[in-house]
Structure 1
Amino acid sequence: MKVDLYLTCVNDAMFPRTGQATVRLLERLGCEVRFNPCQTCCGQMHMNTGYREDALVLARKFVREYRDAEAVVMPSGSCAAMVRELYPQAAQWAGDDELLRGVQALESRVFELSEFLVDRLGVTDVGAYYPHRVTYHPTCHAARMLHVGDRPLQLLRNVRGMTLLELEGAEECCGFGGTFAVKNADVSAAMLADKTRHIQDTGAEACTAGDNSCLLHIGGGLHRLRSGVRTVHLAEILASTEEEVFA
């Protein structure tokens, strides 16, 4: 299967190892991975802060670049939710029927990583090995907009050598929410304090999730507490093997 990797701008700028891990994982599972160098931001930041026209420009570009893709895989529930859930709304707001038709034709081929692995490839054991104690944080967009459910947990439970630890209050937001953390800093910090306390209570060595934006927020909190708990993207755990632990 030919897969187009939409890396997302956060990963491209700050977490390139996540993209490398995603490529390695998908190729190990028999996919031909392509990377379109013309990809840019999905427009979520613009949409959430009221710059709808700028978001529409990026939505149209996304449809133009990926209209012929067999599958577009994103190591980000947040950006996948933007394309599948908010692009159609944006097109309707703008009265852009051409964009709406393009989005509707494409949205069934846009996947968050765990969705693609479990639903499209039909695998829950990807041959991963990660000898650490890990807890999992389900990110808001993946859980509430994409409804990925326990797909990430299905994958994590089959990672050899890993001890998966249950996280109290797992479904609670970490407090990031993009610009929410800037505009509502006190509330965000209080939510983060709850999340980092629960993570530390598990005794985990690492916290994983499907969005590096949330892990950036959580990781900052854990670092300031000098907790010794690191954050690692789901793709990096799933890409790890006995020969090379990726993360």
Structure 2
Amino acid sequence: MIGLVLAAGAGRRLRPYTDTLPKALVPVGPAGIEDGSDGLTVLDLTLANFAEIGLTEAGIIVGYRKEAVQERKAALEQKYGLKLTLIDNDKAEEWNNAYSLWCGRDALKDGVILANGDTVHPVSVEKTLLAARGDGKRIILALDTVKTLADEEMKVVADPATGVRRITKLMDPAEATGEYIGVTLIEGEAAADLADALRTTFERDPQLYYEDGYQELVDRGFRIDVAPIGEVDWVEIDNHDDLARGREIACRY
């Protein structure tokens, strides 16, 4: 099993940082470290989690400002003891992340822990996913069942007997079992099915999310499971308020 990070996004709501950096390299260390060169980024935190659970390789799907990731690749490999492979998304500034994850379809064959490049979270999330493996589970989503949900969250309806039934932002929060936090364990035997569902999804609409690809799988009768993460502080960084929250959380890990 390897790690896989979606780090191709531009994150325009995080300007001016993202004028020169992809979203995954926006600094989440101390607020005084404004260029992120000597401080933590979301990518740093994710790679540290991968290393802590014993992974030795990771793929990083890059696109927008990919040269910034390339410049740091050797230093990140040395710091975290991971062999890193950069996977190019040639449409990162045009299409949404269903296509981005499809670009990593070859990596999926090894089995991956997938993490969004904008999610600050502790290693307990990865450990929860690993503990949930087995019993024929092929895809397991990290699910926050504690947080109070609103309109923007990626909401999930799941049943213990049948797994995920719906995953979408376009749902009444009261109907949801919880929020998908952007971290998934994908077994290698799910790779071909997931890649095909992702292709169907972005061919239908290039602006769809990879979570829409998960829904496509569910609609085809493929079971996707969830693993509740418990009382965990985490944040998806979309804007400057989220970034302030991410910095607050990151200093605890």
Higher helix share: 1
Q: TM-score, normalised by structure 1?
A: 0.34
The structure, 1 or 2, with the larger RCO (C-alpha pairs under 8 Å, 6+ apart) is: 2
TM-score where L is the length of structure 2: 0.33
Instruction: Determine which structure has the larger strand proportion and give its number.
Output: 2
Q: Choose 1 or 2 for highest CA Rg.
A: 1
